[in-house]
């Protein structure tokens, strides 16, 4: 091969062939090899160091693309992880805000219902004061009975010198609550103190004020004991309608009189009527964590049916027909 760079060298004739060229098929001669110039230009010279640098650049480009891909995957994973972690906090925050809103709304509704209870008790106090003014019997026991009938209070304290009566009574209220996770019944209780006083002039006045719930506890317990005593007296055999018989029925533990919560002071029989005077007392704790005692004396009356041993016409035995309980000033 001969010629300059950029020339294309065609093969020459083999040995034994003349310079004129090999014989072509069919008797002709083949054309001898010639040098033909092409339009290609020689490429630049690249050293080994340059080839190494080019290879490193290519590897760096491929490595950079991989790093960017890994970076995008990492960012995506972090975003997904943050979303997964934030969802519970968002849900918890929503529930907490809903709980706070429902709690505030329930407090508002309860206060509105409590205000309604207070207004009704004030109306009751006005009616009670009117009944006290209209009462023809101005005795203490008669006035106590008027207050009990209108207020329903089991315990009514009175100051004879000042002519003031105080009755504490528990009232139950209800409202429509907002749904909450732990459930709210919408039921509540309030304790009210009714004060009735004879002011200068012919009329009585009544005032109502809310008290701590513990103030009504003693009164409620006394009311429970009065109800139980009515049941015991109603079912007591006629032969046991005595002071000792009734005391044993009301106080099975036989406590001393000063410790008994139901102390029978007297039992009187007159015809078919049996009247018992019983002092009921209950201890409770005040808002100042001090022990206090609520007490009220009651007159229990039982009417005997014909056939009871204490009936005038027939000593055959019987049961109680009815028992009434009325608060009195003293036993």
Give 306-324 as a 3 state SS string.
Answer: CCCCCCCCCCCCCCEEEEE
* 7-59 pLDDT, tens digit each: 444 444 444 444 444 444 444 444 444 445 545 555 565 566 655 565 555 55
Residues 31, 34, 40, 45, CA torsion sign: positive
Mean pLDDT across the stretch 228-241? 87
pTM as predicted = 0.66
Element (H, E) at 192: strand 187-198
* Amino acid 312: pLDDT: 42
Instruction: Please say if the pLDDT value at position 202 is more than 80.
Output: no
* Amino acid 24: pLDDT: 45
Instruction: Please say if the pLDDT value at position 323 is more than 50.
Output: yes
* Amino acid 200: pLDDT: 78
Q: Residues 6 or more apart from 11 whose CB is under 8 A from it? A: 33
Instruction: Please say if the pLDDT value at position 311 is more than 70.
Output: no
* Amino acid 62: pLDDT: 56
For the beta carbon of residue 62, count every other beta carbon within 10 angstroms: 10
Q: Is 252 helix (H, G, I), strand (E, B) or coil?
A: coil
* Amino acid 313: pLDDT: 39
- pLDDT band for 176, please (50, 70, 90 cuts): confident
* Amino acid 59: pLDDT: 56
* 128-172 pLDDT, tens digit each: 999 999 988 889 999 999 999 999 999 999 998 888 999 999 999
- pLDDT band for 179, please (50, 70, 90 cuts): confident
Angle between helices 140-151 and 48-134 (to 10 degrees): 140
Determine the Cα–Cα distance for residues 75 and 81; give it in Å rounded to an integer: 10
* Amino acid 75: pLDDT: 74
Residues 71, 74, 80, 85, CA torsion sign: negative
Q: Extract the tokens encoding 34.
A: 């010639």
Count the alpha carbons within 13 Å of 57 in the hemisphere toward its beta carbon.
6
**Least confident range of 155-169, 188-202, 297-311:** 297-311
Single out the residue of 107, 112, 221, 108 nearest to residue 170, CA to CA. Answer: 221
For the beta carbon of residue 151, count every other beta carbon within 10 angstroms: 23
Name which residue leads in pLDDT, 41 or 72: 72
Q: Residues 6 or more apart from 155 whose CB is under 8 A from it? A: 167, 168, 218, 219, 222, 223, 294, 295, 296, 327
Residues 12, 16, 17, 23, CA torsion sign: negative
Long-range contacts of 188-191 (CB under 8 A, 24+ apart): 188/110, 188/113, 188/114, 189/213, 190/114, 190/117, 190/118, 191/215, 191/216
- pLDDT band for 103, please (50, 70, 90 cuts): confident
């Amino acid at each position: 091969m001969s010629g300059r760079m950029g020339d294309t060298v065609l093969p020459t004739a083999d040995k034994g062939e003349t310079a004129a060229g090999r014989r072509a098929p069919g008797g002709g001669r083949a054309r001898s090899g010639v040098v033909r110039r092409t339009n290609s230009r020689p490429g630049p010279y690249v050293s080994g160091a340059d080839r190494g640098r080019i290879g490193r650049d290519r590897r760096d480009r491929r490595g950079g693309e991989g790093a960017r891909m890994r970076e995008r995957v990492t960012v995506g994973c972090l975003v997904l992880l943050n979303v997964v972690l934030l969802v519970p906090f968002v849900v918890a925050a929503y529930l907490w805000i809903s709980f706070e809103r429902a709690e505030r709304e329930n407090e508002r509704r309860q206060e509105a219902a409590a205000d309604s209870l207070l207004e009704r008790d004030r109306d009751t106090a006005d009616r009670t004061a009117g009944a006290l003014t209209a009462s023809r019997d101005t005795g203490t026991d008669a006035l106590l009975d008027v207050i009990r009938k209108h207020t329903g209070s089991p315990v009514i304290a009175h100051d004879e010198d000042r002519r003031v009566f105080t009755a504490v009574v528990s009232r139950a209220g209800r409202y429509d609550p907002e749904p909450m996770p732990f459930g709210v019944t919408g039921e509540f209780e309030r304790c009210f103190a009714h004060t009735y006083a004879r002011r200068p002039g012919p009329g009585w006045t009544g005032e109502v004020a809310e008290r701590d719930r513990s103030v009504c506890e003693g009164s409620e317990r006394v009311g429970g004991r009065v109800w139980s005593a009515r049941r015991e007296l109603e079912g007591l055999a006629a032969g046991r309608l005595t002071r000792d018989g009734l005391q044993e029925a009301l106080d099975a533990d036989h406590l001393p009189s000063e410790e008994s919560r139901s102390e029978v002071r007297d039992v009187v029989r007159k015809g078919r009527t049996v009247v018992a005077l019983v002092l009921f007392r209950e201890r409770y704790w005040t808002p100042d964590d001090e022990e206090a005692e609520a007490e009220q004396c009651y007159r229990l009356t039982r009417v005997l049916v014909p056939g009871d041993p204490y009936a005038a016409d027939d000593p055959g035995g019987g049961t109680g027909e009815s028992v009434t309980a009325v608060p009195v000033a003293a036993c």
